Structure 1
Amino acid sequence: MKRRGALLSVSVLVLLVGALVATAAAPASAIAVGVEATEVFSVTDIVPPGNNLVFAFYMNPDFVFPVRIRCRETGDVLQAWKDSPQGYLNLPSTDKTRHLVFEFDNSQSLLALSSVSFEIRVIPDPTRGVREEEIDPIEKKVQTLFEKMQTLRKLQELIRYNQKDHRALVEHANERVHWWSIMQVVSFFVAAGGQLWLLRSFVEKRRTI
């Protein structure tokens, strides 16, 4: 039993290290897509037996659309988000191969194209085939830490997305201020030219009189 517990600890620790590395390299793993108006964008992934599924997504809070995960064979909806700009799901492993469909439903929008970033990860379950009493407290804490790392990773991606969206908003505002300044300068010269023309006309009329 001790040897088995040691192997289990190594497996869980390897997963934890993998989570740390993945957190540092998060921008390279997320997928960003634009979903056209009236479109339902879908992705299908296969989850082998004995594997956990980790799914996370985030989108612009101003343009939110429903996201669903359903089983392709039965059509059952496993998880759905309706009015949330981000979501996270850790689906436990089973004994069967699962074909899951991830749907990003922008069909209710008639004009707006909306962008969404998401990530789908299939991770081996280190506790597969091990009874609850065979897992020592340290391993349980490591598993809890692993789940927290996944949540932290999701928050990190969301912060990056919000920073990108904020940067685009600031750049757009700066561009509008730039053009507004140009219009003010042009208006000033037009008004000054008009005042000079009126003054010149007034002086010429007085000379004529």
Structure 2
Amino acid sequence: MLIRLSTILPLFLLALPFTFAHRIEIDPGEKECYFESLQPQDRMTITYEVGGSSAGGHLDIDFFVQDPQSKTIYTQHKKPQGSFSIAADQGGRFTYCFSNEMSTYARKVLSFNVHGQLFIGDDEHIAPVEQEVRDLSAGLQLVKDEQAYLVVRERVHRNTCESTNSRVKWWAIAQTVILFSLCAWNVHYLKSWFEVKRVL
């Protein structure tokens, strides 16, 4: 039994996806690039979402991926969210970048997750237990991605509600000031009609 556990444990650890969650801020006119080193048949998925923007900018970002030869293999322009998956057909360093170069004044707040599956052999030679471990790992990763997506969406909606609440508050204050100013002017104007003017 110890031999089987010692055999299954490394396979279990290899079957677990590598996952990296990040939250970054990208200044206007700038871009942030990262890389992952993959072996042939390794899998990698990148999901991202713009969670906020300063100075009233749009919630969008440019995203592109380059292979180890610096050839762009995927591009997405001005999207608030997106995902990209790849099964590497060659080993090397894959680079992915988030670009805010199209913006001249708005800083973007971006959340993104990188997760993948290391290749440990052909599916035909995988034992049923190992396949179950892989399936369970993939299911857990889907749940985690969904939770991360909901967290980002909740943050976006909360920021929108707080911004709307602030605008309503200041508009109400401005209306109150205007109302009292008009009332004071009307009283002053009406009083001027009833003033007794002395004739010398």
* Alignment-derived partner of residue 67 in structure 1: 63
> Is 1:7 aligned to residue 7 of structure 2?
yes
> 2:51–2:111: 8 Å Cα contact kept in structure 1?
no
In the alignment, the residues of structure 2 paired with residue 34 and residue 188 of structure 1 have an alpha-carbon distance, to the nearest angstrom, of: 42
Shift of 1:90: 4.9
> Is 1:166 aligned to residue 161 of structure 2?
no
The alignment yields a C-alpha RMSD, in angstroms, of: 3.4
* Alignment-derived partner of residue 204 in structure 1: 195
Q: 1:177 to 1:105 in 2, by over 3 A?
A: same
Shift of 1:160: 0.9
> 1:5–1:134: 8 Å Cα contact kept in structure 2?
no
* Alignment-derived partner of residue 25 in structure 1: none
Shift of 1:190: 0.9
Which residue type is aligned with residue 165 of structure 2? N
In the alignment, the residues of structure 2 paired with residue 145 and residue 86 of structure 1 have an alpha-carbon distance, to the nearest angstrom, of: 26
* Alignment-derived partner of residue 55 in structure 2: none
Superposed counterparts of 1:71-82, under 5 Å: 71=67, 73-82=68-77
> 1:41–1:103: 8 Å Cα contact kept in structure 2?
yes
Superposed counterparts of 1:1-209, under 5 Å: 7-8=7-8, 10-11=9-10, 13-14=12-13, 30-47=21-38, 52-60=43-51, 62-71=58-67, 73-82=68-77, 84-92=79-87, 96=91, 98-121=92-115, 125=118, 128=120, 130-205=121-196
Structure 1, unmatched stretches of 5+, are 23-28
Report the 3-state secondary structure (helix = DSSP H, G, I; strand = E; otherwise coil) of the residue aligned with 1:204. coil
In the alignment, the residues of structure 2 paired with residue 202 and residue 175 of structure 1 have an alpha-carbon distance, to the nearest angstrom, of: 41
**Greater fraction helix:** 1
CA deviation profile, 1:38-80 (whole Å, cap 9, x unmatched): 3232123434678654432222494322212212x41123443
- Between Structure 1 and Structure 2, how many residues are aligned? 191
Give the TM-score of the pair, scaled to structure 2: 0.74
Shift of 1:167: 0.9
Structure 2, unmatched stretches of 5+, are 53-57
Report the 3-state secondary structure (helix = DSSP H, G, I; strand = E; otherwise coil) of the residue aligned with 1:191. helix
After TM superposition, the structure 1 stretch with the greater mean CA deviation from structure 2, 149-158 or 76-85, is: 76-85
